[in-house]
């Protein structure tokens, strides 16, 4: 009961169901997902009438943002070639045999360091 929860850290059982995958594979699904960086939320002020809120009207908002070029990573594009091992991501997959007939994939930093070659 409650005593058992206290002995196990006392967090009330709030565990990530993918912890077991993270422990063995470095992430759910074998760690093959691309990591995305979350940017800070933007707040925009807009005047809306109470009637519009009640009726659920829609508004369009035009937002401009800067995005890095996927091919050159904002380096200007001249003389930049992507690494053939990691395809410009900076990480590559290493296959390791850990036993007879047992292999595992590990995501490791690429030898090119940045994902680019010049």
Nearest to 96 by CA among 85, 107, 88: 107
Dihedral angle sign, alpha carbons of residues 4, 23, 89, 91: positive
Main-chain phi, psi angles of 116, to 5 degrees: -125, 155
Nearest to 107 by CA among 96, 88, 92: 92
Q: Give the pTM.
A: 0.30
Identify the pLDDT of residue 118: 42
Q: What are the mean pLDDT values of the chain's consecutive 10-residue runs (118 residues total)?
A: 57 60 58 62 88 89 79 66 77 86 87 60
Task: Tell me the sheet residues that pair with 109.
Answer: 91
Dihedral angle sign, alpha carbons of residues 22, 23, 25, 29: negative
């Amino acid at each position: 009961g409650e005593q058992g929860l206290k002995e196990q850290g006392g967090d009330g059982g709030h565990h990530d169901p993918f912890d077991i995958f993270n422990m063995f594979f470095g992430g759910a699904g074998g760690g093959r997902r691309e990591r995305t960086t979350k940017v800070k939320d933007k707040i925009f002020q807009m005047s809306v009438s109470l009637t519009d809120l009640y009726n659920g009207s829609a508004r369009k908002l035009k937002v401009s943002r800067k995005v890095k070029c996927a091919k050159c990573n904002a380096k200007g594009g001249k003389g930049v070639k992507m690494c053939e091992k990691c395809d410009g991501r900076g990480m590559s997959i290493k296959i390791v045999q850990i036993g007879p007939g047992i292999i595992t994939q590990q995501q490791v930093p690429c030898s090119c360091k940045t994902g680019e070659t010049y």
